[in-house]
Chain A
Amino acid sequence: MNELRDNSETGELIQYIIIKIDDEQYGINIKYIDNIVRMQQITRVPKVDDYLKGVINIRGEIVPVMSVRMKMGLSEDEITGKTRIIILKSGEGDLVGIIVDQVNQVLTLDSKNVEKVRYDDKKDKTNGSFVNGVGHYDGGLVSILDLDAVISEKDSKEKASNAG
């Protein structure tokens, strides 16, 4: 899972997919993305955590789909025409889908322009534990999603208690 962490020490250019969750923009390093699919019917799995919405069929493979909103402690997803499922490649090669409200653009950031968020800073923000960096670009700021945290099996409450 460690490989999911961004390595921003070098001055290389990294492409990020910019997504929108609630009103905030987040960046996901493109190399962890397998695929982006439209919202489709999700097969519910009973007796699992709320944020785990179910499973979908990606090229014959069963892929679990989770709601980032639920994980962050936000309200239930509102499915619109812009809702997408981003299929991420996790460390062991398994695929995991996350539901996002909107996919905006692809952004290339110099890693020098990405500031790492220290753990001290995270405490203040409610959903800060899902962010591990902030990127600067012409149009403003974008939070870089900590994919490890997003797709971990813990939900936000546990996460919060761990952080505190």
Chain B
Amino acid sequence: MDVSQYLSVFLDEAKEHLQSLNDNIMVLEQDPENEDCINEIFRSAHSMKGMAGTMGYTRMQNLTHDMEDVFSDVRGGKIKIKSADIDVLLQCLDAIQGYVDNITENQDEGTEEHQNIIKALADIRNGTSGGGDAAPAAEAAPAAEASAGGDAPAAGADGSSDYRAIKLDPSVKSTLEEAVAQGKKIYGVTVHIQESCILKAARGFLVFKGLEEIGEIAVSDPTTQDIEDEKFDFTFSLIVITDESKEKVEEIVKAVSEVEGCECGEFDLNGAKNAEEKEEAPVAAAPAAEAPKPAAAPAAQTPAAAPAAGGAGGKKPVGKPVVNRTVRVDIEKLDVLMNLVSELIIAKNSLISAANTSGVSNGNVNEQIEYLESVTTNLHESVMKVRMVPIESVLQKFPRMIRDLNKTLNKKMELTMTGEDTEMDRTVVDEIGDPLMHLIRNSADHGIESAELRAQRGKPEVGQIFLHAFQDGNSVVIEVGDDGNGIDAEAVKNKAIEKGVVTPEQAALLTEKQCVELLFHPGFSTAKQVSEISGRGVGLDVVKSKVESLSGEVTVRTKLGEGSTWVIRLPLTLAIIQALMVIIGEEKYAIPLDSIQSIEDVTPSDIKLVENKEVINLRGSVTPIIRLNEVLDTESTKSTDEDMVVVITRKGDQSYGLVIDELMGQQEIVIKPLGKYTAKCKLISGATILGDGEIALILDTNSVI
């Protein structure tokens, strides 16, 4: 089967499962008894095994299979996860991640068998199974691995579902008796579906459909409904009433693809032993499919206990996780959609201005235009929302990273994160992971002091690293920090001189803040020794340039001895925003509505001078005012004694008043990039096309201030 077309789906899902495994194992470390967690891990491992098998990645399949085995035992209460086991499991995840990475790169899982991990996993099962009655299971596991061919009888004796075990209720029984009286034959069929099968339910359905053509299905185990809902492992049984021969029945069942085999026998109504025919399907097909399911192992070893053990392991319904119904869409398609929405909004704006200028002020026209407006606004919001994803997806890997760093750096650290649900544009979320990871590593490596030093300084033993994400106006702020050493400005300065970044003379003039900023200089690293953690040649300059490429900014607050906080501020990258249209001089400008607090009328006499700067008293707070016509090099059309329109905006905690000439009103605008030639102008963040085709520039109020 050509599976290359499923590769991207496989990779996406594999990554999700890996992440879920990672998360859950971390939880398990804290709470080894958490049943939900164990079930979730089991399901993820199970799904990954199936996926890997389908795609033909047998090594990955083996590894996940063993992992599944472990959790199968945990679920069955045979073993308990100890903290030492967590390391093995995490190693196992890394190994799987390795496979996935290899596959991502060259569609091949590589040749690494990870025998040591497989052995370690087996040890986990052995280690605890010694005392209990599960000993045979432990023996069986390696055996099952060794003989990938999985002896057919073992599969046959798999007690999870067997037609001989089907219980008949009276009505079915009477139907069957009737059929026998009519001379029809009754066969019991147990169908084994390949474990790699993704669409078990569909295969089951095909078997039913095939058999219904030649006869009647009296009963099945599990029920038809459960089979359709995939509430069965890989085996189901049914009883069929037919005129055809047993061979015909078998043929029909085996004709369905991905059916590994079936057992078929005449069903003895009186429950007498029908040991006669136990047809084994030829099981020589894909070796991938043959690893017997975990429950099969104990069953094979202890036939007597088979029904019971099998029942416990197999019949327990694999509860379905609550899944959101989702569709995966190529981000490029979303971009196209977004562009089209932008065009639509421009067209709508043109229509409005055309209607106004041509004097079509018919009530009906206005009504329709308003309707159009509300539809386009909603459409835009929906498309925006589609593109927004919680930042969570990049933060997920950090707890695990800190855990590993704890061991490698031999420090005690704890990571707290808040605001994981802060939403950002998908493209930004994808890009921000590496810079954040770098900052966290930085905090762990350089920030948090050694245990002795912390004790000396009277700090808690466990170093705190935090990550807070939150939305602030139309930007998203991510703060990464620690309660560690802080940044030694002097050390930075000396290092900078040493590296020739600044001359001693220049350095002498630098403020402490400027010294710290030197850290962002390319190729700067203050780590006295290059460790595995930082010192990978990826410096803070890379963080800075990455953030800036996303039109964000990164700053640092630090206090020597108390810790430092890196603040990344990113725009929400909304391509369409609500803006206040204003006139300054003769020109039209747009000010993003998010950045505006209020609009005030100010008489010139209200303006006071403080330190030679113009300020107004705005409801008790002193607010500096900025004359935009001066900033933008244009002539104000207003005379100096006229009342002024002041737009109040905010940067940090301080409010500022921006003096404009005239208000035009609020409008939904589409942000268009200005291109590289005009990048010199920091005051303008973009441009937009107005309804009449004219261009208005969008003011970046932060840079104006």
Minimum CB–CB distance for A147 against chain B, Å: 14
> B587: which of A43, A52, A57, A61 is its contact (CB, 8 Å)?
A43
> Is B678 within 8 A of A41, CB to CB?
no
**A41-B694, A60-B343, A62-B675 as given contacts; A47 in contact with B687, CB under 8 Å:** no
> A62: which of B633, B673, B682 is its contact (CB, 8 Å)?
B673
CB contacts (< 8 Å) of A4 on chain B: these are none
Interface size on A, residues (CB 8 A): 21
In this complex, the interface size class of chain B, counting residues with CB under 8 Å from chain A, is 20 to 34
- A96's nearest neighbour on chain B, judged by CB, is B677
> A45: which of B343, B689, B693, B697 is its contact (CB, 8 Å)?
B697
> Is A60 within 8 A of B689, CB to CB?
yes
- A64's nearest neighbour on chain B, judged by CB, is B677
State whether the Cβ of B695 lies closer than 8 Å to any Cβ in chain A.
yes
> Is A60 within 8 A of B677, CB to CB?
no
- CA A44 to CA B672, docked complex, whole Å: 16
> How many inter-chain residue pairs (CB < 8 Å) link A and B?
66
Most chain A beta-carbon contacts within 10 A, residue among B346, B677, B697: B677
Minimum CB–CB distance for B584 against chain A, Å: 10
> Is B684 within 8 A of A62, CB to CB?
no
**A60-B689, A64-B675 as given contacts; A46 in contact with B683, CB under 8 Å:** yes
State whether the Cβ of A22 lies closer than 8 Å to any Cβ in chain B.
no
> B687: which of A48, A62, A153 is its contact (CB, 8 Å)?
A62
State whether the Cβ of A28 lies closer than 8 Å to any Cβ in chain B.
no
State whether the Cβ of B681 lies closer than 8 Å to any Cβ in chain A.
yes
- CA A64 to CA B680, docked complex, whole Å: 13
CB contacts (< 8 Å) of A149 on chain B: these are none
State whether the Cβ of A49 lies closer than 8 Å to any Cβ in chain B.
yes
> Is A48 within 8 A of B678, CB to CB?
yes
> Is A43 within 8 A of B680, CB to CB?
no
State whether the Cβ of A66 lies closer than 8 Å to any Cβ in chain B.
yes
Contact residues of B between 649 and 705, Cβ < 8 Å to A? 672-678, 680-684, 687, 689, 693-697
State whether the Cβ of B372 lies closer than 8 Å to any Cβ in chain A.
no
Contact residues of A between 43 and 96, Cβ < 8 Å to B? 43-49, 52, 55-57, 60-64, 66, 94, 96
> Is A43 within 8 A of B677, CB to CB?
no
CB contacts (< 8 Å) of B386 on chain A: these are none
CB contacts (< 8 Å) of B694 on chain A: these are 41, 43, 57
Minimum CB–CB distance for B272 against chain A, Å: 81
> Is B346 within 8 A of A60, CB to CB?
yes
> B681: which of A48, A63, A66, A153 is its contact (CB, 8 Å)?
A48
- CA A60 to CA B693, docked complex, whole Å: 8
- CA A114 to CA B672, docked complex, whole Å: 40
> Is B632 within 8 A of A57, CB to CB?
no
**A60-B346, A62-B689 as given contacts; A43 in contact with B675, CB under 8 Å:** no
CB contacts (< 8 Å) of A48 on chain B: these are 677-678, 680-681
> Is B689 within 8 A of A43, CB to CB?
no
> Is A46 within 8 A of B681, CB to CB?
yes
- CA A126 to CA B56, docked complex, whole Å: 70
Binary A-proximity of B286-326 (CB < 8 A = 1, otherwise 0): 00000000000000000000000000000000000000000
CB contacts (< 8 Å) of A52 on chain B: these are 677-678
> Is A55 within 8 A of B695, CB to CB?
yes
> Is B680 within 8 A of A49, CB to CB?
yes
CB contacts (< 8 Å) of B632 on chain A: these are 46-47
- CA A62 to CA B694, docked complex, whole Å: 10
Minimum CB–CB distance for A142 against chain B, Å: 27
- CA A50 to CA B677, docked complex, whole Å: 12
CB contacts (< 8 Å) of A55 on chain B: these are 674-675, 678, 687, 695
- B346's nearest neighbour on chain A, judged by CB, is A60
- CA A49 to CA B680, docked complex, whole Å: 8
> Is B673 within 8 A of A47, CB to CB?
no
Contact residues of A between 9 and 60, Cβ < 8 Å to B? 41, 43-49, 52, 55-57, 60
CB contacts (< 8 Å) of A45 on chain B: these are 674, 678, 681, 684, 697
Binary B-proximity of A96-137 (CB < 8 A = 1, otherwise 0): 100000000000000000000000000000000000000000
- A49's nearest neighbour on chain B, judged by CB, is B680
CB contacts (< 8 Å) of B676 on chain A: these are 94, 153
Contact residues of B between 590 and 618, Cβ < 8 Å to A? none
CB contacts (< 8 Å) of A63 on chain B: these are 675
- CA A49 to CA B681, docked complex, whole Å: 9
- CA A107 to CA B677, docked complex, whole Å: 30
Minimum CB–CB distance for B110 against chain A, Å: 38
- CA A47 to CA B675, docked complex, whole Å: 15
Contact residues of B between 98 and 157, Cβ < 8 Å to A? none
- CA A61 to CA B680, docked complex, whole Å: 19
What would be 28 A-B contacts, judged by CB atoms less than 8 Å apart? A41-B694, A43-B696, A43-B697, A44-B587, A45-B674, A45-B697, A46-B684, A47-B632, A47-B681, A48-B678, A52-B677, A55-B674, A55-B695, A57-B693, A60-B343, A60-B346, A60-B689, A62-B674, A62-B675, A62-B695, A64-B675, A64-B678, A66-B677, A94-B675, A94-B676, A96-B675, A96-B677, A153-B676
**A-B pairs with lowest CB-CB distance, top 7:** A43-B695, A64-B677, A46-B632, A47-B681, A62-B672, A62-B687, A45-B678
Chain A residues within 8 Å of B, Cβ to Cβ: 41, 43-49, 52, 55-57, 60-64, 66, 94, 96, 153
